[in-house]
Amino acid sequence: MELQLELQSQRSPRRFLPNPAKLAVNALLLLFTASCIIPLLWIGYSSLKTQAEFANNILSLPSAPQFSNYWEAIKLTNMLQLSWNSARVTFLSVIGITAIAYVTGYITARLDFKGKRAMIFYYLFGMLVPIHALLVPIYLLFKNWGLADQWYTLIIPYIAFNLSLPIMLVSSYVMGIPREIEEAAAIDGLSFSGTMYRIILPIAIPVLTTVAILQFFSCWNEFSFALVLLNDESLRTVPLGMSYFKSQHSTNYPQLMAGMILSMLPVTIIYFVFSSRIIAGVMAGSVKG
Amino acid sequence: MGKALRPKGWVLVAYLLPGLLIYSFVVLVPILAALRDSFYSWTGGPKKTYIGMGNYKEILQDDVFWHSFLNNVLMTAYGLIGQVGFGFVFALLLMSKMVKLKGLHRTMSYFPSTLAPVIIAFLWMLVYNYNYGLLNAGLTKLGLGALVQSWLDLTGPIVLLASIPLSWQNIGFFTLLMLAGLSSINKEVLEVAQLDGATGVRKAWYIIIPLAKPTLVVASLLCIANNMRGFEHIYALTGGGPGNSSSVMALYAYETSFLRFRYGYGSALAIAIITLTMLMILLSTLLLQRRNHSKGGA
């Protein structure tokens, strides 16, 4: 998505010499953009150094890349197990969020019914409520119901706490689809459900993709619920596993950095593949929010 | 929508119910359960002793809790400057014709938002580290070796130091939010302003800021909500330390319950946090909206 609005005067003359304000503004933004990337690059190349090399000069580039840091980090964190746990929980949560958000969002966009305002408000409340204050009561509730320490444990809070924004995104997207399409479908004899699944669902694929990607980040990165609801080491997710790795091996910095790089690899890849869609989605969501 | 398309009542209920059930189970039920448990002295065992308002009375006198609350408020203030403020400035700059590489700025500045808070905290722990930190190394390179220190052991500015990673991670998000808000401003208004001779900073101050007010309000509310519930960054960066100097409410409730096994008191803390947060959000909504109206009338 390209932002077309330009606030600057259209009659500003072209200059041969760069104007100081222009230089300053560009320098400021470049500086900020660099600050978003340089610490990550530093971690990236430092993860390839030996411990002695890192201690000797923390800024220098590695003389010979040490990929062994990565093997050690994979072994010590049990990264494959962590990734599998995270992937399973994330995948199922994202499916659940997207499905519920589609149905709920579609219905709120197209139908009026008693309690609709209250329902929308109820879902909005979820964006403001301090979820981390609820860690204790949720832990007690899950323990009572035998829902803690199961492979599916995290899917429940992940779906519930990520419904608010997707519902609003879907709802406002559906409002932008002409109603004539559904009316034509009704005249052809299609039921409400038929219209929702066979006519509108394909049209809503772009917004559902955006929702799925944004919620992928949210679920993959989640830490607090994993910390509280899981005791079983074999169920740990990537952020949780990393936090234990950090506290147990806090002195080997290159190895810790290798672990950090590994843990952020999936989100990094997905972000840079889909960045324009993600940015457009966040902006669409913010206007509505 | 035409009558023909309206589903039967039970179909509607069947569609909406799964979402409402799972959402209520994790949002509403725990709040009600916490409210109930908050009247008991309970360490997790079978023995629960009803103590009425005892826990709440204790909260009122609990210095650590109120210190944590103040830290939340302080973090919110830093967040409003660092996230909403800088986000707005960057958005204004990104809309100016002077700026090159807009796509790069947008893409890169949002990237940290996609990383796990825990990873952001580790990253900044390495930045602040005394022996191997980027910050101290940078200061030494700049000839400011006198400023080198063990940053996360400073009790004074610790909340500010812990807020910087949060702002760093979230500026990109707020920049996008502001860009979206700014791009929905009617272009004709801006053109008229320009014809009247308003440019640069004056245009931003007199035209854009009043028009962007709704976006600024939404962003501020989101920022307040985010900072009042901050947990992960602090947990992973300082663990609330040194001492309790960087503790926040959610972390204190977590420690009370899971490290000291005071579930009754922890539940009361949960209710207190929710109440205080909602109060803050309500107050700031009223404040921001009133200012909005008075400006609009002037």
Distance CA B198, CA B192 (A): 9
Complex prediction ipTM = 0.88
Residues 38-57 of A with CB under 8 A from B: 39-40, 42-43, 54-55
Task: Report the candidate in B249, B254, B255, B257 with the shortest Cα–Cα distance to residue B227.
Answer: B249
The answer to whether residues A97 and A159 touch, using CB atoms and an 8 Å cutoff, is: yes
B48-50/B40-42 β-pairing: antiparallel
Residues 131-190 of A with CB under 8 A from B: 131-141, 156-157, 159-161, 163, 167, 179, 182-183, 186-187
Distance CA B28, CA B43 (A): 23
For A99, the token pair is: 């499905």
Task: Report the candidate in A202, A170, A282, A40 with the shortest Cα–Cα distance to residue B180.
Answer: A282
Nearest CA of chain B to the CA of A14: how many Å?
11
Q: Which residues contact A54 (CB under 8 A, 6 or more apart)?
A: A46, A253, A254, B132
Q: Return the residue in A45, A113, A122, A129 with the most chain B beta carbons within 10 A, the one to mutate for interface testing.
A: A129
Cα angle A139, A145, A150; round to 5: 75
* Distant-in-sequence contacts of A222-226, Cβ < 8 A, 24+ apart: A222/A154, A222/A158, A222/B116, A223/B116, A223/B117, A223/B118, A223/B232, A223/B235, A223/B236, A224/A131, A224/A132, A224/A135, A224/B231, A224/B232, A224/B235, A225/A135, A225/A138, A225/A154, A225/A157, A225/A158, A226/A154
Taking contacts as CB-CB distances below 8 angstroms, the residues of chain A near B270 are: 133-137
**Phi, psi (deg, nearest 5) at residue A91:** -60, -50
Q: CA torsion sign, A241 to A274 to A164 to A190?
A: negative
Local confidence pLDDT in tens for the 298 residues of chain B? 455 568 888 999 999 999 999 999 999 999 999 999 999 999 888 888 999 899 999 999 999 999 999 999 999 999 999 999 999 999 988 887 788 888 899 999 999 999 999 999 999 999 998 888 889 988 988 888 888 888 988 888 999 999 999 999 999 999 999 998 888 777 777 777 777 766 677 777 777 888 888 888 889 988 998 888 778 999 999 988 898 899 999 999 999 999 898 999 999 999 999 999 999 989 988 888 776 555 443 3
The answer to whether residues B269 and B65 touch, using CB atoms and an 8 Å cutoff, is: yes
For A155, the token pair is: 């899917």
For B249, the token pair is: 């409410």
Find the closest chain A residue to B8 by CA distance.
Answer: A192
Q: What is the mean pLDDT of residues A193-205?
A: 93
Find the closest chain A residue to B232 by CA distance.
Answer: A224
